[in-house]
């Protein structure tokens, strides 16, 4: 019922989006306020319906209606409330809903704050993107071929009609869902996706404004309104990228914040193009040139968002990404979405291209507009390189069959020279931005930052023994950018701090550059023997048994419990304990690792954890994953995880031993494990059969029936298991007879089966249950699980310099963006107010000159 | 033509050429072991599945994980990997090893393990519970 309601709601929302777009088009093309109010009405209805559908989905999730594919696939009944919330957008369909909702909010803001000149044409394009997004989740019935898109309200039965269970019983409802991926069960999921989709939604605005300006031939004014939106979109994308990077760094074992993964690139490239657009718009604002670039970059930023959405959601990336989505059959829709967005953009641009204003004369090289324009171009090229790499499954076919993604080196090798170039350009451009310079005065102004950066670079190169020339150049560029922009900032703070946003972002970029360099100096923290070995490997002096040179360094150390090892020449590291704590997840193990600095008294304990990923495991094969521990410092972090341990191996062995068939589904493994005492082993054993436990062989020889006289009162029946335990090495053997007595208490029956203590060791055997159908009994055994073996861990620890500097740079960028948004927004408000004021004045016939000027700025020359 | 425009276009052509050349060198084909044996370079990608008829183990002496992998043409080869066994190794329905052939052994520096239900894409979950 709710499913049908959901379908209908989303289908209606889809229809409303189409109607809203149509009426916005009529309003934009033919005027008439009536059209616009109808369009607005449909737009609100669309928003309300989407909101309602989202509410329904949340309701289905919270009431655990597992007959729905989406609910089954992303949730389970043991999920905490915050993750049930997050499950709303953890899947692909829900994340599209979130995107649509964000776009709706942005649309509301546009309706409220945009001047009538641009409002309706802008809303046409906002509406158009909504139509496409809604088409992907609407489930709108299509006359020729099922439903449009993948509705979050489709049922399991409709998703797999041929599954045996549904053939047998079409109304089958699974009792448990498959649960949210364990890696997503992290508080970061609450904040990361909403921010990114808000960024995506906001990036639609410059696109819509650029097209509206082409449509309405008003090429000047739009940038004033679009600028704060583009800045806002960039702030959101940056925040989302930071959150994603931080999340990956603290929860995944690859030990970094960035891996050039296609999904990461999917938000980085629009950010870079958005940045190019911001620079182009600023030139247009100050110098009335680069109209084309503003429009092209605004279009490009959004087209890349859709293109990268296509790449990551169409299934085309397949193996090359760790978190690309699965193909939901949206390939065609995504392709059409991308093509339409791109073709409309390009077509409008070509149609109006000759009409677009051109600067009358070329700007000199040493002008802010030329330098900023070059900066935009450099940013464009960076984005181009990253898109090229991300597109390897498609574009790689030009060169090889069956292409792999490029090595990370491809991205790194190109970003280094680009980083240097951008670092140097920021300073030159900032100097030119705030003051007119010729070559002489600019050189004079640049002497100070050059000198300061050179001195610091030389000192640092000596201090950290840097040998790589490319790194030295990069370091110089970063320091030059830091000092140069810092000096500009110093001057600004005294005069005009409101306008300091832009400069602050450049300082943030310089800080980021320095932080990035740190990752070139990551080093595994190992003992001195391993370090010597790694040095020999690096020098090509180590050969394996077959005479081939070894080329892989060893990045981890084995630690036995309680035995300290000196690692990284600086810390005595001791593996203190390993325990199944189940703090956050069933089966979770926490390790305590003590670090004692040898040269001081400082010491600290780190707590990496390891846990079975139950949501991804099948009963027979449990998948284990690690949760690293990070200790952040001002100049370097210690990042570590437990790559393997005796406790994990023991748990794997135990899980394999315990009959996995008894678990009905994976999720039942969870609660059971929660009650599990790791010291107890449960087995099933057939009559006349044997089982091996640790050092012992247990034979179950027969049942011994207990005489009624010996039974307590109210007993129904009593039976003992005749067990023989034999030590495998010594051959010594003992008989044990644990009992199982069924008693009655009123109407209910219960079993009395206390553990039987073993005489030869500190342990016990409990006669757990009887399985007459298979002639087996269940035993719970404690204490003879082999000799207490030596506990060990494989510890992978890494020394990672300047991670904090990366975060610092990101924060400076964020603050810079925020300051710039506030400034540009209030600037625009002032401009609008002044315009109204001017009109009023003009209406009184007092200032015709001003009005003419305003109109000139507002309207392009006629075609 | 304005000189600056010519300069810009030439720059872009040179840049694009360089990027494309570098890009073509940075990507590889997924190959099988026999093709890998004839190739040079230490970033060769081989796709396959774990050959579980042979033992897979981590040796704390050599600090290497050793297993046998069957490539898509059915060739089985010994593979070494300089890290502990990836946690989800056994259930992987596809493994990509990156490295080079040395004699009959593939020495990998990286391994990507793709699991059947890694991203909750259970399109065909098994219900054991029938009621």
Contacts with B26 from chain A: Cβ below 8 Å: 389, 406-407, 409-410
**Mutation site, A163, A165, A404, interface B, largest B CB count within 10 A:** A404
Q: List, in order, residues 6 or more apart from A305 with CB less than 8 Å away.
A: A200, A203, A266, A270
Considering only CA atoms, which of B48, B122, B27, B114 is closest in space to residue A318? B114
DSSP label of A678: T
Residue with the larger pLDDT of the pair B67 and A158: B67
Please give the CATH topology (third level) of the domain spanning B32-114.
Answer: OB fold (Dihydrolipoamide Acetyltransferase, E2P) (2.40.50)
Q: At what angle do helices A331-352 and A291-313 cross, to 10 degrees?
A: 170
In contact, A485 and A510? CB cutoff 8 Å? yes
Query: Which string of b and e fits A21-31 if b means at least 16 CB within 10 Å?
Result: bbbbbbbbeee
Whole-angstrom distance, CA of residue A20 vs CA of residue B16: 43
Q: Regarding beta strands B30-31 and B44-50, do their DSSP bridges make them parallel or antiparallel, or are they unpaired? A: parallel
In contact, A524 and A555? CB cutoff 8 Å? yes
Q: List, in order, residues 6 or more apart from A416 with CB less than 8 Å away.
A: A470, A474
A163 touching chain B per CB within 8 A: yes
Strand partners, B71: B48
Decide if pLDDT at B119 tops 50: no
Contacts with A624 from chain B: Cβ below 8 Å: 87-88
Considering only CA atoms, which of A141, A102, A150 is closest in space to residue A313? A150
Contacts with B124 from chain A: Cβ below 8 Å: 160, 163
Whole-angstrom distance, CA of residue A540 vs CA of residue A17: 64
Decide if pLDDT at B127 tops 80: no
User: What's the confidence (pLDDT) of residue A55?
Assistant: 96
**In Å, how far is A326's CA from the nearest CA of chain B?**
6
In this structure, chain B runs to a length of 131
**Burial class of residue A651 (count of CB atoms within 10 Å of its CB; 0-12, 13-18, 19+):** buried
User: What's the confidence (pLDDT) of residue A58?
Assistant: 95
In contact, A396 and A404? CB cutoff 8 Å? yes
User: What's the confidence (pLDDT) of residue A690?
Assistant: 85
Question: What angle (nearest 5°) sits at the alpha carbon of residue A475, between those of residues A472 and A479?
Answer: 140
A694 touching chain B per CB within 8 A: no
User: What's the confidence (pLDDT) of residue A861?
Assistant: 37
Phi/psi for B51 (5° steps) reads: -90, 100
In contact, B68 and B96? CB cutoff 8 Å? no
Mean pLDDT (chain B, rounded): 80
Domain boundaries of chain B, sorted by first residue: 1-29, 32-114
Contact A400 B15 (CB under 8 A): no
**Burial class of residue A715 (count of CB atoms within 10 Å of its CB; 0-12, 13-18, 19+):** middle
Contacts with A548 from chain B: Cβ below 8 Å: 102-103, 107
Whole-angstrom distance, CA of residue A181 vs CA of residue A847: 66
Contact B19 A413 (CB under 8 A): no
Considering only CA atoms, which of A611, A597, A606, A613 is closest in space to residue A639? A606
Question: What angle (nearest 5°) sits at the alpha carbon of residue A841, between those of residues A837 and A842?
Answer: 115
**Mutation site, B15, B23, B40, B80, interface A, largest A CB count within 10 A:** B23
Q: At what angle do helices A116-137 and A92-113 cross, to 10 degrees?
A: 170
User: What's the confidence (pLDDT) of residue A325?
Assistant: 56
pLDDT for B51-66, tens place per residue? 888 878 887 777 888 9
A529 touching chain B per CB within 8 A: no
**Mutation site, B14, B59, B127, B128, interface A, largest A CB count within 10 A:** B127
User: What's the confidence (pLDDT) of residue A22?
Assistant: 96
CA atoms within 13 A on the CB side of A172: 23
Whole-angstrom distance, CA of residue A565 vs CA of residue A639: 17
Considering only CA atoms, which of A42, A38, A36, A40 is closest in space to residue A17? A42
CA dist list (Å): A374 to A317, A326, A368, A426:
33, 39, 10, 11
Q: Is B4 helix (H, G, I), strand (E, B) or coil?
A: helix
Which residues in chain A show pLDDT less than 70?
Answer: 144-145, 318-328, 615-621, 658-679, 785-789, 842-863
DSSP label of A76: -
Q: Regarding beta strands A756-757 and A764-771, do their DSSP bridges make them parallel or antiparallel, or are they unpaired? A: antiparallel
Q: Is B91 helix (H, G, I), strand (E, B) or coil?
A: coil
Helix (DSSP H) and strand (DSSP E) numbers for chain B: 2, 7
Whole-angstrom distance, CA of residue A450 vs CA of residue A213: 43
State which H helix or E strand residue A643 sits in.
Answer: strand A636-645
Whole-angstrom distance, CA of residue A859 vs CA of residue A372: 25
Tokens of A303: 């087209």
A44 touching chain B per CB within 8 A: no
Inter-chain Cβ pairs, chain A and chain B, closer than 8 A = 138
Q: What is the ipTM of this complex?
A: 0.85
**Burial class of residue A790 (count of CB atoms within 10 Å of its CB; 0-12, 13-18, 19+):** exposed
Q: What's the pLDDT band for B126 if we cut at 50, 70, 90?
A: very low
- Report H helices in A777-802: none
Whole-angstrom distance, CA of residue B73 vs CA of residue A430: 59
User: What's the confidence (pLDDT) of residue A677?
Assistant: 57
In contact, A328 and A92? CB cutoff 8 Å? yes
Residue with the larger pLDDT of the pair B112 and A800: A800
A755 touching chain B per CB within 8 A: no
């Amino acid at each position: 019922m709710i499913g049908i309601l959901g379908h209908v709601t989303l289908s209606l929302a889809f229809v409303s989006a189409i109607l809203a777009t149509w009426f916005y088009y009529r309003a934009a093309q033919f005027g008439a306020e009536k059209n616009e109010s109808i369009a607005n009405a449909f737009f609100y209805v669309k928003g309300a319906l989407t909101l309602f559908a989202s509410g329904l989905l949340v309701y289905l999730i919270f009431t655990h209606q597992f007959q729905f594919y989406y609910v089954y696939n992303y949730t389970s009944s043991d999920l905490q409330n915050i993750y049930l919330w997050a499950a709303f957008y953890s899947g692909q369909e829900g994340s599209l809903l979130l995107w649509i909702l964000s776009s709706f909010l942005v649309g509301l803001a546009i309706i409220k704050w945009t001047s009538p000149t641009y409002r309706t044409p802008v809303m046409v394009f906002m509406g158009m993107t909504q139509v496409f997004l809604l088409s992907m989740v609407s489930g709108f019935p299509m006359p020729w071929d099922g439903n449009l898109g993948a509705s979050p309200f489709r049922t399991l039965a409709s998703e797999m009609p041929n599954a045996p269970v549904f053939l047998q019983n079409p109304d089958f409802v699974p009792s448990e869902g498959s649960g949210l991926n364990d890696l997503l069960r992290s508080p970061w999921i609450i904040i990361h996706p909403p921010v990114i989709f808000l960024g995506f939604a906001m990036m639609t605005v410059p696109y819509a404004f650029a097209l509206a300006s082409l449509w309405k031939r008003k090429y000047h004014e739009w940038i004033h309104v679009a600028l704060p939106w583009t800045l806002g979109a960039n702030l959101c994308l940056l925040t989302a990228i930071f959150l994603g990077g931080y999340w990956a760094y603290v929860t995944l074992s690859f030990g970094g914040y960035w891996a050039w993964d296609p999904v990461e690139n999917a938000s980085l490239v629009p950010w870079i193009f958005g940045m190019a657009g911001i620079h182009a718009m600023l030139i247009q604002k100050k110098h009335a040139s680069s109209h084309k670039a503003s429009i092209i970059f605004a279009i490009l930023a959004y087209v890349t968002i859709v293109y990268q959405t296509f790449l990551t959601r169409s299934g085309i990336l397949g193996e090359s990404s760790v978190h690309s989505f699965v193909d939901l059959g949206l390939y065609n829709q995504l392709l059409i979405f991308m093509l339409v967005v791109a073709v409309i953009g390009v077509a409008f641009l070509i149609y109006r291209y000759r009409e677009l204003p051109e600067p009358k004369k070329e700007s000199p090289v040493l002008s802010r507009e030329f330098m900023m324009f070059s900066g935009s171009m450099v940013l464009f090229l960076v984005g181009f390189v990253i898109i090229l790499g991300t597109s390897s499954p498609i574009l790689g076919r030009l060169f090889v069959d069956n292409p792999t993604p490029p090595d990370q080196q491809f991205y790194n090798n190109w970003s280094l020279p680009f980083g240097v170039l951008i670092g140097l350009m920021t300073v030159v451009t900032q100097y030119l931005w705030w003051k007119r310079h010729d070559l002489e005065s600019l050189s004079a102004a640049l002497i100070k930052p050059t000198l300061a950066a050179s001195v610091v670079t030389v000192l640092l190169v000596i201090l950290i023994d840097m040998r790589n020339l490319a790194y030295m150049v990069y370091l110089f560029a970063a320091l030059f950018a830091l000092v140069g922009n810092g000096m500009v900032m110093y001057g600004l703070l005294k005069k005009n701090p409101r306008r300091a946003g832009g400069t602050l972002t450049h300082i943030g970029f310089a800080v980021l550059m320095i932080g990035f360099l740190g990752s070139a100096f990551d080093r595994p923290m190992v003992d001195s023997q391993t370090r010597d070995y790694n040095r020999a490997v690096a020098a090509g002096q180590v050969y394996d048994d077959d005479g081939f040179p070894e080329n892989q360094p060893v990045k981890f150390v084995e630690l036995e419990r309680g035995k300290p090892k000196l690692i990284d020449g600086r810390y005595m590291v001791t593996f203190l304990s390993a325990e199944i704590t189940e703090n956050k997840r069933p089966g979770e193990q926490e390790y305590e690792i003590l670090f004692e600095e040898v040269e001081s008294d400082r010491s600290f304990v780190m707590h990496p954890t390891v846990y079975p990923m139950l949501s991804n495991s099948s009963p027979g094969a449990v998948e284990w994953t690690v949760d690293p521990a990070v200790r952040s410092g001002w100049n370097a972090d210690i990042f570590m995880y437990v790559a393997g341990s005796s406790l994990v191996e023991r748990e794997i062995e135990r899980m394999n031993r315990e009959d996995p068939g008894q678990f009905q589904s994976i999720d039942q493994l969870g609660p059971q494990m929660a009650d599990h005492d790791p010291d107890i082993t449960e087995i099933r054993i057939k009559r006349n059969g044997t089982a091996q436990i640790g050092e012992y062989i247990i034979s179950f020889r027969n049942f011994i029936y207990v005489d009624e006289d010996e039974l307590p009162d109210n007993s129904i029946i009593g039976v003992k298991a005749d067990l023989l335990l034999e030590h495998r090495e010594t051959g010594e053997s003992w008989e044990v007879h644990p009992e199982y007595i069924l008693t009655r208490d009123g109407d209910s029956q219960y079993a009395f089966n206390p553990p039987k203590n073993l005489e030869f060791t500190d342990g016990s055997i409990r006669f757990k249950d009887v399985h007459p159908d298979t002639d087996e009994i269940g035993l719970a055994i404690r204490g003879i699980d082999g000799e207490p073996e030596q506990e060990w861990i494989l510890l992978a620890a890494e020394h990672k310099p300047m991670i904090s500097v990366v975060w610092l740079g990101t924060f400076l960028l964020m603050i810079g963006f925020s300051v710039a948004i506030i400034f540009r927004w209030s600037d625009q408000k002032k401009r609008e107010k002044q315009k109204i004021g001017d009109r009023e004045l003009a209406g009184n016939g007092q200032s015709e000159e001003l009005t003419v000027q305003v109109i000139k700025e507002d309207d392009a020359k006629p075609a | 033509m304005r000189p600056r425009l010519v300069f810009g276009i030439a720059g872009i052509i040179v840049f694009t050429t360089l990027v494309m050349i570098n890009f073509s060198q940075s990507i590889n084909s997924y190959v099988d072991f026999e093709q890998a044996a004839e190739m040079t370079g230490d970033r060769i990608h081989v796709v396959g599945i774990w050959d579980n008829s042979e033992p897979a183990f981590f040796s704390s002496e050599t600090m290497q994980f050793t297993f046998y992998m069957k490539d898509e043409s059915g060739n089985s080869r010994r593979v070494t990997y300089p890290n502990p066994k990836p946690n989800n190794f056994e259930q992987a329905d596809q493994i990509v090893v990156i490295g080079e052939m040395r004699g009959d052994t593939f020495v990998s520096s990286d391994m990507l393990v793709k699991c059947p239900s890694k991203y909750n894409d259970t399109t065909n979950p098994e219900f054991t519970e029938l009621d």
